[in-house]
Each structure stands twice: as structure tokens, then as C-alpha cells.
Chain A
Amino acid sequence: MSPEQVLHDQLAALQSFLAVGAVLFGVGLIGFLSRRNMIVMFLSAEMMLQGVSLSLVAWGRYRHDLGGQMLVIFIIAVAACEAAIALALVLMLFERKGNLDIAKWQELRESNQPPFEEEWQPPEDKEEPPQWPHLPPAGVLPESVSQKEFYRRKV
């Protein structure tokens, strides 16, 4: 293999790695921006991180420099810690509002700005009061006075 060929192969590999990294990053970004579930958003953020890590490794390999790989190992370790903290936070937020929707947390807006409101509301499931069969009255009514006393004594 001529040195030119080697160089060409390496460049092609780099391009492929970078393309995959970019796709990972882009998908993660779109996910982060478009999904409102906090866990999914966190997953998307992780995906962006992996895309960047991948490109770092690719560059490191291309330049025969182990610094990139070293850095990625660091990133993975840190990301693990960060995942633990982030999931704990998400859990706390979920406990506060009973919901994972990020749009429930907008208290940090300017004080005189109106809150963001959903334009589309999911149809509420209406609970119809149950219709019981109507029965005609039967038997004799007990005497009202004694009934009152009876109840009162019971209470």
C-alpha cells in the first residue's frame, strides 16, 4: 500500500467516524429540544455527549494521539457520576409535581411574563355520574322524633 493509499484510508475512516459522531450529536440535540420528558431529555443530552466523544476518539486515532482516547475515558467516568446526579434530580422534580414534563417548571421566567400554556389540551376523561335504577318507596317510615333521638344517641 502506497503511503498515499494509507493516508486516504485513514482520512476516509475519520470522515465516517465524524459523520456518525455528528449524527449522534444532531439526533441528541433534536431530541433535547423537542422532547419534554425529563428522562428522555437527559438521554438525548447523553447522546450528544457520546457524539462528541466519538469524534474525539476519531481525531485521536487519526493523529496517533492517545490524548483523545484518554479524554474520552475521563468523559465516560464523569458522565456516569453526572447520570447518577441527574437522575436523582429528575426523581426529586418528579416527586414535587407528579409529572416528568419539563414545561411544568417555568418559575424562573421574568416576573411579569405570562406562563407558557399548552395550546392543545388533551381531552379530559369525563366521569359520568353512575345512573342507579330508581326504585319506588316501600314499607313504613319510622317516627321522625324517635328516629332523631336514636341517631343522636348513636352518635
Chain B
Amino acid sequence: MHSYISNLLILIPALPLLAAAVVAVFGKRVLREQSHWPVVLALAGSCAASVLLVFAVQRAQQDGPHEHLVKLWTWATVDAPVLSTQYSVPSTPTSDGEAESKAPADTPAFRMDIVLRADSLTAIMLAMVTFVSTLVAIYAKGYMHGDSGYWRFFAYVALFVFSMTMLVSVSNFVLLYVFWEAVGLCSYLLIGFWFEKPAASAAGLKAFLVTRVGDFGFALGVFLLWTTFGTLDFHDSKVQTIPGTHGRAATSVVYLAPQEINDENISGTVQHGIFGDWRLAQKSPYGDIPDATILAVCLLLFMGACGKSAQFPLHVWLPDAMEGPTPVSALIHAATMVTAGVYLVARCTPLFAAAPDARETVATIGCFTALFAALIALTQTDLKRILAYSTVSQLGYMFLALGTGSQPGVTAGMFHLFTHAFFKALLFLGAGSVMHAMGGVIDIRQFGGLRRKMPITHWTFLFGCLALSGIFPFAGFWSKDAILAAVAEKAAAVHTSSIYEYLYYGGTFAAFLTAFYTFRAYFLTFQGEERIPKEAGHHAHESPPAMTGPLVILAIGALAVGAYFQWTGDFLNPNGFLMQTPVLTALKAPGAEGAEHGSLHLTVALISTAVALAGIGLAWLFYLARPDLAESVTKSAKSLGLYGLSHGKFFIDEIYAALIVRPLEAFAGLLAWADRHLIDTLVNLVGAFPRALGAMLRPLQGGLVQFYALVMALGVLALVGALLW
């Protein structure tokens, strides 16, 4: 059983990596237009393995929460004496014998094993990532057809899926960081896929640099974790050192399984991982750590999550990332990579549970981003950008849910992540289908009434819109309702100075805005009179089956996954599949108990449905029934400056340019000037001195024999004179 899970766990990232290598090596010359085959097959294989993994993990959880660990190899080891002279391996303030046991002399001070883990959270993420990426790869076969970089695209996608599957399955913060950066790299490569286009390469650069700001915080968080815990592993491990004989280096054996760690016959020291069984079994897992440290760790990690998941101060890269090919927007910038931040916060739930202030920050920023991005999306005219802001907004919802820190909240956040992947990928792929048919035009003012030309795209897009707006019984309804219910419950549970009450109203209002802008895009694109831009040419017809097939499958998902998992309770039920994740068990602590979990909150559901229907109705009124009304509203909003504020994305880019980019550019210009004129002059002077000396002495070497003889004679005279004198 264990080796079965291990094999699946290794197979899932290995297949895409293999496909990436094959396509990278043979794609350009051999595979060419067939480059999608290795990738599609590998991703389908990974997807099948992920589904099997989900069932295997479920079987392994017969008796309580369970995680399965596979050690591949040891990546790095630094011996204790080396490190201990430089750093004092931290001891906790309690320091009553327990501190010493953390870094005993015979274990390496720093060791990093490549360990993969399988628990419910990872299994769900793996299944979601590989499923969406398989569909997107099939779709991309049609979408990218005839592109000069066809093989390159599929190599990048396979590399991305490898990185993403590793990101969610590693069991160590450093490796998490490594793959965190790896998905960022793939994102950069794919945003700038059409690098001849200046806007695309600039967008790639922007995405990379803005996420780096967050990653800097993440790195600091990892450093702080290391100095606080002395390990960066999630799991517990027991290290047995076998002394070397006759010149052989000592080797160490690592035991990961709980029964091995508790085996008295194995001598060795136990290292307690950050989310290891030992810590989670304590009453307060981080009782030995100062609260301020935990808070700082949480905020720094959340900074990384903000960068990757495009939350408020660092959201600016995601809308620009739409310069990449649409399948990439669907896969990386809607369904998978941007949810890495959500995954990180969910994975660190025990840490966030210990820091209420950090939780409130997460919830506040999430709710603010949800509202803020929804307000921007109201007036955008680029179909993909509307969806991008919608993604930012929905990610805000997920953080709002995680920020409640309660069991219904965290599970609702993960549930929304899961359903969102389906309908947002569907919407992006639908937008790509429209873009494909319209000859690259994506401005919703340029086309309209496409429902007859593109029936499949129309119906699937409508499903996606309904799911995003949260209309019963589509997927978004269940997950969004779960989030709002969790926030409302939290607001009711925390009586004193509850910020969550405002967050609930904010979330509900964002739901209204979501429905409005989603259906604004839908009505302008598919309803009304038929308008087709001249760029479309003869392309204005339904997309090929390779593109519509994934759309249909995702539309079924957008319709069904919410209701199905609501029915099974795998996500929301306190004893469901997701709650079997060890890191989430902390939420079941007695303090976090609320009313009945996972059930449908009728009031909340009615309110959110009502506001969603109101949003749709308003969009219908403005853009189909009474366009003159929309114009007059727009005009009055313009006169107030509100329209410009939303259309200009609240001028965040301009503010950053004025406050950060320009001053830094000026500073860099100053430094460049100083380098060129001050430093270089100094260096040139050092070189010029011997040169000048040489120039002074050079005339002596004139080539005249008699001059040499004269100098020699004078030299002898001087020598004799010196001797005599």
C-alpha cells in the first residue's frame, strides 16, 4: 500500500518532467507540429495517477488523519560543528532541557531531504492541477496551431506542471520556495511567450519583478522559520548516524514514518518538523515560540502569498500577464499557479491559527482585494482583463475565507479554490475561443451577438458566468456561499469589535459586483445584435473540437463539481476528506467549534443569490434592455470621476511608477553616472600612472648604440663615484 502511494506520488511530477525534457530536446527538429503528444499523454497520465492517489489516500485514512512521506534523496547536509560556530542554533525561551534536544551534536545542523508528501490537501491540489492542465494542453493543441513556437509552448507547459505538482507535494519550506520560484519562472516564460511583442516581454518582466517583492518576504519568512525552529521540514524525522569505518564518511539514515520514529530499537535523534505529528499533537503546537515571532512569520509568508496570488498591493502583474497565450492565462493565471499563495496559507494553517492578528490581516486584505478588483473589472473593455480582475477578486475571496481561521472558513477557501479552477479556466478558454474566432480582437466593444456563430462557446461561457456569479446550482454558488457563511459565522462567534462583520458585507457586495461585470461581459459578447470586427475575416466560426471539447468538459465541471462535493461533504464536512489533512486537524480544536458545520446557510445563500441576481438584472438592464440608461449612468459617473478611477485601475500602476519606479530609475541613473564618471576615472587614473612613467622613460630606448654606451659609461662613473665617496 505504501509503496503504491509512493510510486504514484513520484510518477505525478516525473511524467511532466520527462515530457518537458523530450519536447525540449526533440521538439524543434523531430516532433514539430506533433509536440503536443508527449505533453498531453504525460499530463493525462499524471491526472490518472492523481485521481488514483486521491482514492489511495482516502483508503489510507481509515483510522484518522494521515500523511504519507516518501524520501527520494538527501539534497544537502551541513555538519553541526561547522554551523554551530557561526550560528547558535536557536534555543527556545523556555530552555528547560527541551531546547538542547532540538540540535544534538551528532545530527547535522542542517539537512535537506527531498521528501514528497501525500495528504488530502496535496492530493486535492494535485488532482485539480493535473486535470485542468490536461484539458488546457488539449485545448492548446487547437489554439496554438501554426504558431512558430509550438514545441516551445508545450515544453514550458510541461515544465510548469512539473513545478506546480512538486510545489504542492514537497515537504520542506526550502523546496517549496524553490518550486515557488520555478512556477514563477514558467509564468515569466509563458507570459513573454510572444517575446517579439514589446508589451508581452514587458508584462513578463513585470510579473517576475512584482512577484519577487512578495518572494522576498517569503524568503525572509523562511529564514525566520529556520532561526526559530532549527528545521524547515514540515514532517518529523528521526536521524540515525552510522559512524564511518576506516576513512569512510559517516552516513546517516532518516526515518520518516511515525511508527519508525517511535520505534525504541532505532537509536537516533528526533527532529520535530514545523507541521510534524509531534507539534500538532501538542495542545498549543507553538506554545514555546513567542507570539510576535509567529506573527512575523505569518505576515512574511503571507507577503509571498500576496505576490504569487496577486493580492492588493502586489496585484498589478496579473492583469498584464494576459499578454501571454490564452491557454496560459487559463492554466497558470487563473486555475493553478495563482492559487499557490492560497495553498501556502492553507498549508500553514497551524501557524496562522496561532496568530489571530495575521488571520485578520489575511481576511482584510482578501476582502479588500475582492472588492477592489471587482470595482476595476466593472469598466474594463478587454475581455481577458475583466477575467483577470475577476481572478484577483476571487483569490481575494479565498484569502477572506482562510483568514477566518475557522474550520468552515479554511475548507470553504479550499473548496472555492477547487471550483474556481473549473469555471475560471472555462471562462478563459471561452474567451480564447472568442479571440481565436475574432482574429485576435479581444475588446468587447468590437464584437457582439456571437451566440449564433459560436453556439458551443456561448453555452459553455454562459455556464462559466453563472458559476462565477454564484447562481444555484452552479459550482460557484456552493463555494461562495460556504465562504460567506463562514465569515458570517465568524462574525457571529466573535462578538467584540468584530472586523468580520464588515468583511461579510464587503464580500456580499463583491458578489453583486461580480455578477454585474461577469454578465456585462457576457451580454456585450454574446447577446444583442451580431457585430464582427473586420480582423476576424473568415475565422468567425466555431472553434475546432480540440478547443470545444475541453470547454464542454469544464462546463460540466462548472455545473456539477460544486453540488457533487457539497453532497459528498469531502470538502466542507468536519470529518470529510479535506479535514483528514494533518495540518487542518488543529482547526477541530474545541475553541474553534461553531454551529453545525458544512451545512447550507439558508439566509446567507438567499442573500448572496439575491445580490447575484440583482447584478445580473442590472447588467441586463444596462447592456441589453436600456443601453441609454447605461450611458447616462456612465456619464454621471464620469462627471464624478468614478468611472475614470475604475477604468484607470485606481491608477495603481501610475502611483507605483511615480513613487517607486521613477525614483529608482533616477537613482540608478545617478549611480550609472557616478560609475561612468567617478569610479571609471579613478580606475583609469591608476592605469594612467605607469603609462605616464613609461612614456617618460621610453625615449631612453632610442636604438642608438652609442647612446647606450654613453649611458653605460656614465653609470660606471656614477658607481665608481659612489664607491669612492
Contacts and interface: CB of A to CB of B under 8 A. Distances in A.
A36 B701 contact: no
27 contacts: A29-B713, A32-B709, A33-B706, A33-B713, A34-B706, A41-B706, A102-B704, A102-B705, A102-B706, A105-B703, A105-B705, A106-B702, A106-B704, A107-B703, A108-B703, A109-B701, A109-B702, A109-B703, A110-B701, A110-B702, A110-B703, A113-B698, A113-B699, A113-B702, A113-B703, A115-B703, A116-B702
Nearest to B708: A108
Contacts of B699: 110, 113
A106 B706 contact: no
A106 B709 contact: no
A121 B650 CA distance: 88
Contacts of B82: none
Contact of A116 (B698, B704, B710): B704
A33 B710 contact: yes
Nearest to A38: B705
Interface string B418-431: 00000000000000
A116 B706 CA distance: 12
Contacts of B706: 32-34, 36, 41, 102
A15 B713 CA distance: 23
A113 B707 CA distance: 14
A103 interface: yes
A105 B698 CA distance: 18
A112 interface: yes
Contacts of A108: 703
Contacts of A110: 698-699, 701-703
What are the 4 tightest A-B residue pairs by CB atom distance, in nearest-first order? A109-B703, A106-B703, A110-B701, A109-B702
B42 to A, nearest CB: 66
A113 B713 CA distance: 23
B575 to A, nearest CB: 91
Residue with the highest number of chain B CB atoms closer than 10 Å, among A32, A110, A112: A110
Interface in A4-52: 29, 32-34, 36, 41
A103 B704 contact: yes
A39 to B, nearest CB: 14
Nearest to B707: A116
Nearest to A109: B703
Contacts of B701: 109-110, 113
Contacts of A34: 706
Contacts of A112: 698
For chain A, which range describes its interface: under 10, 10 to 19, 20 to 34, or 35 or more residues? 10 to 19
Nearest to B716: A29
Contacts of A32: 706, 709
A50 B709 CA distance: 18
A107 B701 CA distance: 11
A141 to B, nearest CB: 62
B407 to A, nearest CB: 86
A34 B709 CA distance: 11
Nearest to B701: A110
Interface in B443-469: none
A34 to B, nearest CB: 8
B496 to A, nearest CB: 89
Interface string A107-129: 11110110110000000000000
A40 B87 CA distance: 83
Nearest to B697: A110
A98 to B, nearest CB: 19
B703 A116 contact: yes
Nearest to B706: A33
Nearest to B699: A113
Contacts of A107: 703
B45 to A, nearest CB: 71
B519 to A, nearest CB: 82
Contacts of A113: 698-699, 701-703
A33 B702 CA distance: 15
Interface in B373-432: none
Contacts of A102: 704-706
Nearest to A108: B703
Contacts of A36: 706
B704 to A, nearest CB: 5
Contacts of B702: 106, 109-110, 113, 116
A151 B710 CA distance: 67
Contact of B709 (A33, A105, A115, A116): A33
Nearest to A36: B706
A109 B702 CA distance: 5
Interface in B671-725: 698-699, 701-706, 709-710, 713
A110 B703 CA distance: 7
Residue with the highest number of chain B CB atoms closer than 10 Å, among A33, A102, A109: A109
A33 B713 CA distance: 10
A29 B705 CA distance: 13
A56 to B, nearest CB: 18
A32 B710 CA distance: 9
Interface string B606-641: 000000000000000000000000000000000000
A113 B704 CA distance: 12
Nearest to B705: A102
Nearest to A103: B704
A144 B709 CA distance: 71
A103 B705 CA distance: 8
